[in-house]
């Protein structure tokens, strides 16, 4: 069975600080996909990134960066120079690439508060 662990439950930082959100996953499959979603106070779930298990290149998108390490089964998310608008709950999720079976298993989420 697949599992996603987000050990941090709440993080509070001051604006402009860098912050890293941790994600550890478990799966028996060799082919799988990892995701990060953002849930701002308004409640919707916003897709941020997808990474497949064969691509361990780190990715940077503006102030966001992701570090995927298969050796430690981790897919961590870093926000550089955080802003108040980054305050949200962040979910890491795992999908096993099994034909049409693409259901997501979510972690419990990390509540990030960025103070001015």
**Tokens linked to 98:** 């099994």
Site string for another protein, 57-96 (x = CB under 8 A): ----------------------------------x---x-
DSSP H or E run through 50: strand 46-52
Pick the stretch among 9-17, 62-70, 72-80, 97-105 that binds another protein (CB under 8 A). 97-105
By CB under 8 A, tell whether 37 contacts another protein: yes
**Tokens linked to 46:** 């916003």
Q: What is d(CA 92, CA 48) in angstroms, rounded to the nearest whole number?
A: 10
Place of tokens 């079976």: 101
Question: For binding to another protein (CB under 8 A), which residues are involved?
Answer: 33, 35, 37, 43-47, 50, 91, 95, 97-98, 100-109
């Amino acid at each position: 069975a697949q599992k996603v662990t987000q050990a941090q439950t709440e993080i509070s930082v001051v604006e402009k600080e860098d912050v890293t959100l941790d994600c550890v996953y478990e799966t028996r499959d060799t082919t799988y996909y990892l995701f990060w979603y953002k849930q701002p106070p308004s409640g919707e779930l916003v897709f941020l990134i997808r990474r497949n298990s064969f691509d361990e290149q780190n990715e940077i998108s503006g102030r966001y960066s992701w570090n995927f390490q298969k050796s430690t089964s981790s897919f961590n998310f870093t926000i550089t120079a955080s802003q108040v608008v980054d305050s949200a709950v962040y979910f890491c999720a795992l999908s096993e690439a099994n034909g049409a079976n693409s259901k997501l298993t979510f972690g419990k989420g990390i509540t990030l508060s960025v103070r001015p």
